[in-house]
Amino acid sequence: MKLYTSEEIRAKYIQFFQARGHAVISSASVIPDNDPTVLFTTAGMHPLVPYLLGEKHPAGTRLTNVQKCIRTGDIDEVGDDTHCTFFEMMGNWSLGDYFKRESISWSWEFVTSPDWLAIPKHKVAITVFEGDDDAPRDQESYDLWRALGQSEDEIFFLPKADNWWGPAGQTGPCGPDTEIFIISDKERCGPSCSPACGCGRYVEFWNNVFLQYNKTAEGKFESLNQTNVDTGMGLERVLVALNGGTVYDSDLFTAIFSRIAELTETTYVDQPKAYRVVADHTRTAVFILGDHFGITPSNVDQGYVLRRLIRRAVRFAMQLRIREGGLADIANAVIDKYELIYPELQSNRDKIIRELQAEEARFQKTLAQGLREFDKLSNSLVNGRLDGAAAFKLYDTYGFPIELTMELARERSFAIDLEGYLEKFQKHRELSQAGAAQKFKGGLADHSGQTANLHTATHLLHAALRKVLGEEVAQKGSNITAERLRFDFSFHRKMTKEEIAETERLVNEAISEGVEITFEEMTLEDARSTGAIGLFESKYGQMVKVYTMGKFSKEICGGPHAVNTADLGTFVIVKEESSSSSVRRIKAILQSTTALS
């Protein structure tokens, strides 16, 4: 049996869609720019939201790429056969161009043709939207699959919970999707077995979303003027579909596992969960640390998640008896594997290693404090048993997994209130999930006039900071809601009151000038030569948009923007603080002229 490699699948996918008129665009940052709804880029569509809403993309109406993605909702599940926190999403998009017929026929060709993935047709299953009061049954997709030769026995009509995407927030683009599954060797779990039952017989690896509706604030589903196609195929998932095994059994992890084995006397067969956690979390940490936006461990937002990933990796590395500092060796294996595809990892290698070593040292100190806390707790047991709340405090505050606490308890011959611990842990998880869900309020599609104004203000702020503090300042992330902007930038110290006031004055000077905001499409090289600033993530020769605001700002960006700086009102900085190591954060608002009069 032929075993496919990750390099082969990436190349095949891009080649297939490039031959069908799709422009190849670069992977965006794993840190969303100006998106308050998510901590990380979780799908290829996130960076494309303005274009799915009607903005013109400089590369055209047919796009394809391989996008770096991070999903952290199931960190504690990593170590099983299916969960990863980092993955690569291959995608192709139609921005008001082709629709269901082309999308479905191309998917069928790529999946089943001997020239491409060559998956036997009898091993393929499909799901489509069954319809409800909001939107009709997707009979068109069903008919297209049947006409291509898909067996009617392996096409399943499923409800909105299974075959509908969006909107990402309260309102915005949404629509039915059709999903592609490989049929595993597992027997049916019963007469009603389908991709919705979760028994493992069906493994989903490609999703074609047809954005044809707009959900209004009143809850109505209206037809969109511009219909789009948004697809996503997980690289790890398709390797499982083709080669079998688990998401950890591909070439993506081979060299990483080999490096772990060199650092320990154990084997992958002996400790599969520990190997997987260390490999997955180190890989994700490398991509966050190596990103253009430069996130480092901290106690807030992405920095907090990064810290949690590194510390969980360290805990399992300790379980494997890997020496302190071993994570850096494993990180080098990750960089070696991916540096040709994502060269930013190589250019940021020193920073990645330095930050991993520093965070591991901090965690070792915290663990030592936790051991002292454990000693105190073990001297005040109730009926020879450690209270569940105390066991959870060791986990939540000091990073002690329950397995470590139980091991220490066994050594000292006392028990743990495991039921009480699990109750606390479950409440913690529910609160975390609720907090993550809360971030989606407002939605990816909130491109109101106010958010456009605030987005425009970040350009002026960026330019002003470079004037006041020097050209060492570079954007390290931004987050915009309808009420305020948040802008992270590289700088090594706290700003003075005078610097904050001067920055605010320069932004308001640009606003008072009433400068028209214009944009041009040009190549990345031309953008550089004109002095435009911004994240230069695009590939050589790729077209980008450059927004100009008179003499004040020239920056690469995708939008949305105001028409004139005079539309912004008055810019007010409300806070300047540390975000993470050598990264500062400004929070600011725009006050309308009417409100001030």
- 101 located within any domain: yes
Q: What is the mean pLDDT of residues 313-338?
A: 94
Question: Are the C-beta atoms of 551 and 561 separated by less than 8 Å?
Answer: no
Within this chain, do residues 507 and 546 fall inside the same structural domain, yes or no? yes
* Segment 260-293, tens digit of pLDDT: 999 998 999 999 999 999 999 999 999 999 998 8
- 489 located within any domain: yes
Within this chain, do residues 182 and 214 fall inside the same structural domain, yes or no? yes
Which helix (H) or strand (E) is 357 found in, with range?
A: helix 349-378
pLDDT at site 215: 86
> Which CATH number characterizes residue 237's domain?
3.30.930.10
Known binding residue 22? Answer is no
- Output the DSSP codes for 100-159: HHHHHHHHHHHHH-TTTT---GGGEEEEEE---SSS---HHHHHHHHHHT--GGGEEEE-
Within this chain, do residues 297 and 320 fall inside the same structural domain, yes or no? yes
Helix (H, G, I), strand (E, B) or coil at 574: strand
pLDDT at site 582: 83
Known binding residue 455? Answer is yes
CA-nearest of 270, 267, 590 to 448 is 590
**Cα separation, 461 vs 565, whole angstroms:** 12
> Which CATH number characterizes residue 499's domain?
3.30.980.10
- 29 located within any domain: yes
Known binding residue 561? Answer is yes
**Cα separation, 271 vs 206, whole angstroms:** 31
Total domains, the chain: 4
- 438 located within any domain: yes
Determine what percent of the chain is predicted with pLDDT higher than 90: 57
Question: Is 451 a residue whose pLDDT tops 80?
Answer: yes
Within this chain, do residues 231 and 260 fall inside the same structural domain, yes or no? no
- When pLDDT is cut at 50, 70 and 90, the band that residue 461 belongs to is very high
* Segment 76-86, tens digit of pLDDT: 788 888 889 99
* Segment 85-101, tens digit of pLDDT: 999 999 999 999 999 99
Within this chain, do residues 374 and 523 fall inside the same structural domain, yes or no? no
Within this chain, do residues 338 and 310 fall inside the same structural domain, yes or no? yes
Within this chain, do residues 455 and 503 fall inside the same structural domain, yes or no? yes
pLDDT at site 540: 57
**Cα separation, 50 vs 46, whole angstroms:** 9
Within this chain, do residues 86 and 124 fall inside the same structural domain, yes or no? yes
Within this chain, do residues 428 and 543 fall inside the same structural domain, yes or no? no
Last residue of one domain, picked from the residues 444, 459, 493: 444
pTM higher than 0.85:
no
* Segment 542-596, tens digit of pLDDT: 788 899 999 999 998 877 789 999 999 999 999 999 887 788 999 999 997 544 4
- 591 located within any domain: yes
Question: Is 442 a residue whose pLDDT tops 60?
Answer: no
What is the β-pairing status of strands 172-183 and 202-215? antiparallel
* Segment 363-374, tens digit of pLDDT: 888 888 888 898
Last residue of one domain, picked from the residues 221, 243, 265: 243
Within this chain, do residues 233 and 258 fall inside the same structural domain, yes or no? no
Question: Is 180 a residue whose pLDDT tops 70?
Answer: yes
- When pLDDT is cut at 50, 70 and 90, the band that residue 538 belongs to is low
Within this chain, do residues 162 and 300 fall inside the same structural domain, yes or no? no
Last residue of one domain, picked from the residues 243, 272, 298: 243
Known binding residue 428? Answer is no
Helix (H, G, I), strand (E, B) or coil at 485: strand
Within this chain, do residues 298 and 229 fall inside the same structural domain, yes or no? no
* Host domain of residue 324: 250-379
Question: Is 111 a residue whose pLDDT tops 90?
Answer: yes
**Cα separation, 313 vs 260, whole angstroms:** 12
Average pLDDT, the chain: 88
- 1 located within any domain: no
- Output the DSSP codes for 312-349: HHHHHHHHTTPPTTHHHHHHHHHHHHHTTT-THHHHTH
